[in-house]
């Protein structure tokens, strides 16, 4: 894309999981290269499996520090347990400790412990990586097991992607977002110039698309739609089209149900790299529509 100051950001989300977000993002990355890609689905990051990035820099990610009780100083008064709203204080034989999975990191217990027996413990909760993929720079992350704060990590990934775009003078960032509509999705949407929602022509896909559209309206971000598996059920596809028209959310492409996506994935290729296929051609045409749309977004 033409360089016009700050990079534009396209964020790909879906509501429902498994509709093809990552396969679509990877195809766009192939078509837009060189482009910055950011995998903001830090819970279940998969984009690296298609783009095979080589890690150039790895940065530790720290979650918010949680409470820890110093057993030597604790007198067992129980005030921490009374104040904690997250059932995170474990009491066993008059011994008080903190359940790290339940602790919300509010530190109310630490603030009020009369013996100052409660301190904090830093948690290295994962990493984020600045890498080179065959489509250009890529920022992605790996979150530790059963960690929280994915919203915070998403924000770090997104910011790093914007920085690398500026440094390397690339005009576009593609963000692969998580499923759902909660914290991690909201963190992925910050700064997006355009949202592309990948849905599937199923009852569930449509229901979740409506929720994603409501969320984008809430944040006043324009949304365009790709309907995957569009030939599974003509009635549902028709219902998606009708809804999209009423919601004024343009459908920019429809992709038939095809196992080529899976075959490409097994070869660690994007669908447009895999072989000449009808869905590859469809994605090329969708990408041209996206480029046209981006011209009108200032």
Partner 1 sequence: MRIAIASGKGGTGKTTAAVALARVMGSCVLVDCDVEAPNAHLFLNPEVQNTQDAYVMIPEVDDGKCTGCGECSRVCQFNALAVLGKSVLVFNELCHGCGGCVLACEPKAITEGGRLIGTMQWGKAGDLDFYDAKLRIGEPMSPPLIKALKHQAELSEAENTILDCPPGTTCPMVEAVGGADYCILVTEPTPFGLHDLNMAYQTVQELGIPAGVILNRAGMGDDCIQNYCKANGIPILLEIPHSREIAEGYAAGKDILSSMPSLEDGFKKVINTISEGLNNG
C-alpha dihedral (25, 187, 102, 98), degrees to nearest 10: 120
In the complex with partner 1, the residue whose CB is nearer, 240 or 272, is: 240
Q: Per the structure block, which two tokens stand in for 142?
A: 């790996």
In the complex with partner 1, the residue whose CB is nearer, 74 or 215, is: 215
CA–CA distance, 287 with 28 (Å, rounded to integer): 7
The Cα diameter of the chain in Å comes to: 71
- DSSP characters for 118-146? EEEEEEEEEEEEEEEETTEEEEEEEEPTT
Chosen residue from 150, 155, 188, 270 binding partner 1 by CB under 8 A: 150
Q: To the nearest whole angstrom, how small is the minimum distance from the Cβ of residue 207 to partner 1?
A: 6
- Residues within window 43-62 making contact with partner 1, judged by CB under 8 A: 43-44, 46, 49
268 binds partner 1 (CB under 8 A): yes
Chosen residue from 53, 177, 178, 280 binding partner 1 by CB under 8 A: 178
Residue 23: HSE in the Cβ half-sphere, 13 Å Cα cutoff? 25
In the complex with partner 1, the residue whose CB is nearer, 141 or 290, is: 141
Chosen residue from 132, 222, 257, 293 binding partner 1 by CB under 8 A: 257
In the complex with partner 1, the residue whose CB is nearer, 17 or 250, is: 17
Helices (H), the chain: 21-32, 47-51, 79-83, 108-112, 150-167, 183-189, 203-219, 234-247, 260-266, 271-274, 278-295
Chosen residue from 92, 116, 259, 296 binding partner 1 by CB under 8 A: 259
177 binds partner 1 (CB under 8 A): no
Contacts of 187 (CB under 8 A, 6+ apart): 40, 150, 151, 152, 154, 155, 158
10 binds partner 1 (CB under 8 A): no
197 backbone φψ class: left, alpha, beta (φ>0; ψ -120 to 50): beta
277 binds partner 1 (CB under 8 A): no
In the complex with partner 1, the residue whose CB is nearer, 166 or 258, is: 258
Chosen residue from 55, 91, 121, 266 binding partner 1 by CB under 8 A: 266
Could you list the residues that contact partner 1 (CB under 8 A)?
A: 14-19, 22, 43-44, 46, 49, 64, 83, 85-86, 101, 104-108, 111-112, 143, 145-151, 178-186, 200-204, 207-208, 211, 214-215, 218-219, 229, 232-233, 235-236, 257, 259, 262, 265-266, 268
């Amino acid at each position: 894309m033409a360089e016009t100051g700050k990079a534009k950001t396209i964020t790909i989300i879906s509501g429902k999981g498994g509709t093809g977000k990552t396969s679509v993002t990877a195809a766009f990355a192939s078509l837009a290269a060189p482009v910055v890609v950011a995998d903001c689905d830090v819970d279940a990051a998969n984009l690296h499996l298609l783009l095979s990035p080589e890690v150039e820099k790895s940065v530790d990610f720290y979650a918010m520090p949680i409470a820890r009780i110093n057993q030597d100083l604790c007198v067992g008064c129980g005030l921490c347990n009374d104040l904690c709203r997250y059932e995170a204080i474990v009491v066993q034989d008059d011994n008080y400790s903190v359940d790290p999975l339940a602790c919300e990191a509010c530190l109310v217990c630490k603030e009020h412990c009369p013996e100052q027996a409660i301190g904090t413990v830093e948690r290295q909760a994962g990493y984020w990586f600045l890498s080179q993929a065959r489509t250009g720079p890529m920022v992605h992350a790996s979150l530790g097991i059963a960690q929280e704060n994915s919203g915070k990590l998403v924000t770090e990934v997104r910011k790093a992607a914007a920085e690398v775009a500026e440094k390397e003078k690339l005009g576009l960032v593609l963000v692969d977002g998580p499923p759902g509509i909660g914290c991690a999705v909201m963190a992925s949407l910050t700064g997006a110039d355009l949202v592309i929602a990948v849905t599937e022509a199923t009852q569930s896909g449509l229901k979740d698309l409506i929720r994603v559209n409501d969320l984008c309206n809430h944040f006043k971000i324009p949304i365009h739609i790709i309907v995957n598996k569009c030939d599974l059920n003509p009635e549902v596809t028709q219902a998606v089209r009708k809804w999209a028209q009423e919601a004024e959310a343009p459908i920019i492409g429809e992709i038939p149900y095809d196992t080529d996506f899976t075959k490409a994935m097994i070869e660690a290729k994007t669908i447009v790299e895999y072989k000449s296929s009808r869905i590859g051609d469809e994605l090329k045409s969708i990408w041209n529509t996206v480029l046209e749309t981006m011209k009108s977004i200032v």
